[in-house]
Amino acid sequence: MRKCALLLTALLWQGHLNASTCMVFPPCDLLRIDSVLFIGKALDSGTLTSPDTRSYVRFSVQESFTGLPAGTKEVVVLTEDSPAHKGQIYLIDAARGADGTLVSRMCGASGEVTSPAAKEVLDYLRERAKGEVQTSLRVWVSVSSSSLPEIQVVASSAENSRSGVTNKDGMVVLDDISPGVYRLTIANLHYTSDPKRKSDTEVQALAGTCPVAQIYLQGDSGLRGRVRDSKGVSVPALTLQAFQVPDDPADTVSMESPWYEVQTDAEGNFELSNVVPGRYYLGTNLIELRTAPIPRTYYPGQTGRDGALPIGAKLGAVTDNLIYTLPDFGPKRTIKICVVDQDGHPAAGAQVLDSFDASGEAFAAIHRMETGTDGCAEFNGLAKAMYALYAFMPGPQPPLGARFSESAVVPFGELAFEASLKLGPPLLIPR
């Protein structure tokens, strides 16, 4: 339940918390059943293990909060990366491994006691030791990566049951509960657990803590229909996106709101299942990360949002028989891209890809292409579509040696088009 963000670098024992890239949680969400927390003075700078960079550091225990037997005077902790500074006093946040070894927690609260973060944790631990901190439970409910309000959450233990309704941020707080193990359920119809993500179905609330649980749901609404071109022919293998309509009409669609993606089948049919109730724009390339080989379009067949018709997804129902007719993007045209190296020689085996340096409603996606022995690749584009692309040549030891070209834009036009891309110097990492 204590989640870490992408860990770029672990900087232990540098006078601050373990990793600045970890998500920050309140001190009351720190303790676990296996937690070991104490204030200790480093008796040495640590003995490095082999072959990694972890080290064993001896500490004299000056103040113990949890996890150590009464009267413990000295312990050894396995730390990550940097050794401790001999004589320095630290707050240690560790866990006991299966073999009894104390290991400092990644994304934990270890750090010098003089740091502001450690002081906040120490204030909490001392108040908890006096019995002055209540036990609470917080549950965050989301759907399609967005907070879900007005969901009733039930937390049941062997002794009692508590419930609450999530606020606009998808959070419900159950204060002053009894310590124990709680089973979490929701009491709303038309929402079920998302099988693609792991929810916290049980959570242990230790005395004086405030654990956070996460529940991921999916709706039971749906959208179903068919896509055809301007001549009425079914369009297969077309990627469609559905984004919830913004509250402010002036706002762009956002990936922070519920959104979905689906590809049409061989007959041009599509079906979006497990959709959250609401109003949606259905279309192609609704965000700048282009996925469809046509410009941005909106249901029922507009190139601009002004003419878009929002689609309503109702609780427990499928909105059916949607006919999406694409605008006419003109005849096909041959677009040829040739790639050369720094000396102007054809670059065989180069990849030609979508560039997102250029953006706008008129741009369509291209499929990844590879140049032939003549350094060229070509595809069938549309007259009323623009394309932004660049070339990339992998290096012998990725990413070292990789070469890139500048981006190029293919404008509107009915005639065949040819462009040349020149690769830059190999990518090197400075010594």
Q: In this structure, what DSSP letter does residue 307 have?
A: G
Please state whether beta strands 332-340 and 417-422 pair in parallel, antiparallel, or not at all (unpaired). parallel
pLDDT band at 48 (very low <50, low <70, confident <90, very high): low
pLDDT of residue 24: 66
Burial class (CB within 10 angstroms; exposed 0-12, middle 13-18, buried 19+) of 392: middle
Q: Measure the CA–CA gap between 275 and 196, rounded to whole angstroms.
A: 14
Q: Identify the residue with better confidence: 17 or 289.
A: 289
Same domain as 390, residue 346: yes
Query: What is the rounded average pLDDT of the residues 220-241?
Result: 96
pLDDT of residue 6: 25
Bridge partners, 278 (sequence order): 313
- CATH code for the domain of 85: 2.40.50.120
Q: Measure the CA–CA gap between 148 and 151, rounded to whole angstroms.
A: 7
* pLDDT of residue 2 exceeding 70: no
pLDDT over 90 percentage in the chain:
69
pLDDT, the chain, mean: 88
Same domain as 163, residue 93: no
pLDDT digits (tens, 9 = 90+) for 279-312: 999 999 998 889 999 999 999 999 999 889 999 9
pLDDT digits (tens, 9 = 90+) for 268-285: 999 999 898 889 999 999
Q: Measure the CA–CA gap between 163 and 168, rounded to whole angstroms.
A: 17
pLDDT digits (tens, 9 = 90+) for 234-253: 999 999 999 999 888 778 88
Please state whether beta strands 269-275 and 369-370 pair in parallel, antiparallel, or not at all (unpaired). unpaired
Strands (E), 187-238: 191-193, 202-205, 212-219, 221-228
pLDDT of residue 136: 96
Q: Measure the CA–CA gap between 46 and 211, rounded to whole angstroms.
A: 33
222: nearest Cα among 280, 301, 297, 309: 280
Same domain as 321, residue 363: no
pLDDT digits (tens, 9 = 90+) for 313-356: 998 899 999 999 999 999 999 999 999 999 999 999 999 999 98
Same domain as 339, residue 292: no
Q: In this structure, what DSSP letter does residue 425 have?
A: P
- Domain region containing 317: 221-325
Q: Based on the structure, what is the number of domains in the chain?
A: 4
The backbone torsions φ and ψ at residue 107, rounded to the nearest 5 degrees and listed phi first, read 65, 25
End position of a domain, from candidates 309, 325, 341: 325
Same domain as 97, residue 83: yes
Residues near 58 by beta carbon (within 8 Å), at least 6 away in sequence: 42, 43, 44, 74, 75, 76
End position of a domain, from candidates 276, 303, 325: 325
Report whether 421 contacts 335 (CB < 8 A). no
End position of a domain, from candidates 218, 251, 276: 218
Burial class (CB within 10 angstroms; exposed 0-12, middle 13-18, buried 19+) of 130: exposed
Assess if residue 413 is contained within a domain.
yes
- Here the tokens at position 413 are 């036009």
* Torsion angle in degrees (nearest 10) through CA of 52, 53, 56, 57: 180
Q: Measure the CA–CA gap between 410 and 417, rounded to whole angstroms.
A: 8
* pLDDT of residue 3 exceeding 70: no
CA angle (67 as vertex; 64, 72 as ends), nearest 5:
55
Q: Measure the CA–CA gap between 212 and 142, rounded to whole angstroms.
A: 13
Assess if residue 6 is contained within a domain.
no
- CATH code for the domain of 411: 2.60.40.1120
